[in-house]
């Protein structure tokens, strides 16, 4: 039975998605190996590097359905890599033409290019999920553009904001990740075909022709130089996932905190039994948020591992490459799960605007002490105004006096601002700044 959460029948679809798992499972991986080997034969046949009839036979005879995975596993454990065992099986499938399979290639050529094909498919899934999630957030930002709530710093109420403003900040992060994804794909979706030491010496003068033809056949780009031991592309892909899941983790952390009993401002979608406790019937735990946070922490570890794997020796690494085999697929699987959980959580987010307003009012106006200070500053000077309002805040808190009364009782304040002006200054709705306009800027063009 599966022994990790990503393959577990119990936990698997909580931490990842079937679609992403399908891209990285063993069968799909071997299919990509075969795809590269067949594409190589086709290109070499067309260029006359191998007989055209052999290339046609290789394309016709290479069949994933005929692969003996048990035998491939056994031989791979001896060889240390899966390509030679695969070539042996494909050679038997293709008969006389089998002698031309893997012509001029090395194991890493096939494995790296197959990984690039996996990443291209995985990027497509991430891009789709990211677009859907951004659309969800745009809808929330637009709907709650002017919905007031307490902004918090250091876990204390700070100044009024709007919920739409908070969501717009989340959305702007994901907009930047969409831009990053579009920028990095051309750097990663590059063919790797360079031979044993990266010089294509086995193909004589035809090496670059074959490399360029293979790139065209697979719809990848051509590298300016061999990247067998230059692993920045794959590392960048996982660093991107670290950034993306980190941002999703920040969103989840906010939602989780706002779901707490004392806040009660937003809630994950209601599904009967979801988030239930085995002993406490009243509980409604932030299940999606917990998975999103866990994914962010795990992807960060894989991102670190990919940075370690960049440090390779000479023209063929003696071990760091193997780190990628584990870290890269797992990072994509976890990122897919985080995106799926985020789409579910935010797509059905329950927003309690009335509770947000009640929380905004619990300090009796203290949350806008800065507004009073700025209102007094032209009269008293900024520093004096700060100290005067600070004194009024202490009176209000120590004596449980409404803030407006503490302000009005201070002759330094009353002599500078009338009661009506003070009432306007202590109304949180009058001090959200340009938060709604920032929402508009983020939503512009959508």
Reply yes or no on whether the pLDDT at 276 is more than 60: no
pLDDT tens track for 297-346: 999 999 999 999 999 988 887 788 899 999 999 999 999 999 999 999 99
Checking if the pLDDT of 281 tops 70, the result is no
Task: Tell me what pLDDT residue 324 has.
Answer: 94
Checking 98-103 for CB contacts under 8 A at 24+ apart, the result is 98/58, 98/61, 99/54, 100/41, 100/44, 100/50, 100/51, 100/54, 100/55, 100/58, 101/37, 101/41, 101/58, 101/62, 102/37, 102/40, 103/40, 103/41, 103/44, 103/49, 103/50
The least confident of 81-90, 115-124, 290-299, 376-385 is 376-385
Spatial CB neighbours of 135, under 8 Å, sequence gap ≥ 6: none
Q: Which residues are catalytic?
A: 154, 277
pLDDT tier at 413, thresholds 50, 70, 90: confident
Q: Look at residue 279 in the predicted model and tell me its pLDDT.
A: 59
pTM, whole model, 2 decimals?
0.92
Query: What is the DSSP-derived secondary structure letter of residue 221?
Result: B
Q: Are 97 and 8 in contact (CB under 8 A)?
A: no
User: What does the pLDDT read at residue 274?
Assistant: 61
pLDDT confidence tier of residue 117, bands split at 50, 70 and 90:
very high
pLDDT of residue 282 exceeding 70: no
Mean pLDDT in residue range 252-256? 97
What domains can be seen in the chain, in order of their start residue?
112-191+224-360+435-446 (1.20.200.10), 366-426 (1.10.40.30)
């Amino acid at each position: 039975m599966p022994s990790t959460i990503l393959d577990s029948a119990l936990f698997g679809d909580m931490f990842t998605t079937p679609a992403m798992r399908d891209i990285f499972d063993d069968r799909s991986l071997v299919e990509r190996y075969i795809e590269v080997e067949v594409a190589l034969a086709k290109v070499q046949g067309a260029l006359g590097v191998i007989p055209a009839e052999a290339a046609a036979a290789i394309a016709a005879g290479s069949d994933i359905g005929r692969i003996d995975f048990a035998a491939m596993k056994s031989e791979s454990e001896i060889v240390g890599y899966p390509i030679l065992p695969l070539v042996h099986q494909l050679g038997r499938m293709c008969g006389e033409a089998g002698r031309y399979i893997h012509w001029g290639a090395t194991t890493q050529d096939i494995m790296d290019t197959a990984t690039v094909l996996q990443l291209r498919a995985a990027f497509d899934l991430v891009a789709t999920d990211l677009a859907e999630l951004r659309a969800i957030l745009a809808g929330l930002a637009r709907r709650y553009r002017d919905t007031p709530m307490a902004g918090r710093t250091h876990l204390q109420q700070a100044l009024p904001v709007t919920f739409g403003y908070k969501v717009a900040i989340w959305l702007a992060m994901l907009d930047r990740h969409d831009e990053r994804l579009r920028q990095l794909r051309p750097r990663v979706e590059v063919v790797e075909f360079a031979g044993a030491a990266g010089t294509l010496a086995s193909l004589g003068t035809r090496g670059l022709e074959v490399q360029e033809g293979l790139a065209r056949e697979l719809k990848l780009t051509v590298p300016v130089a061999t990247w067998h031991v230059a692993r920045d592309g794959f590392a960048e892909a996982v660093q991107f996932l670290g950034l993306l899941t980190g941002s999703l983790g920040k969103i989840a952390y906010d939602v989780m905190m706002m779901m707490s009993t004392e806040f009660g401002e937003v809630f994950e979608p209601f599904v009967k039994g979801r988030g239930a406790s085995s002993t406490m019937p009243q509980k409604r735990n932030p299940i999606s948020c917990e998975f999103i946070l866990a994914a962010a922490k795990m992807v960060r570890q894989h991102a670190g591992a990919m940075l370690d794997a960049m440090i390779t020796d000479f023209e063929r690494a003696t071990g760091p490459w193997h780190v990628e085999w584990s870290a890269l697929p797992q990072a994509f699987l976890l990122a897919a799960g985080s995106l799926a959980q985020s789409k579910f959580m935010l797509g059905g987010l329950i927003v309690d605007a009335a509770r947000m307003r009640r929380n905004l009012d619990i300090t009796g106006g203290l949350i806008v002490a800065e507004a009073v200070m700025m209102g007094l500053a032209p009269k008293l000077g900024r520093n004096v105004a700060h100290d005067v309002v600070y004194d009024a805040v202490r009176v209000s808190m120590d004596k449980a006096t409404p803030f407006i009364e503490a302000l009005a009782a201070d002759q330094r304040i009353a002599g500078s601002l009338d009661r009506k002006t003070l009432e306007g200054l202590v109304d949180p709705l009058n001090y959200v700044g340009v938060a709604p306009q920032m929402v508009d800027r983020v939503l512009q063009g959508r």
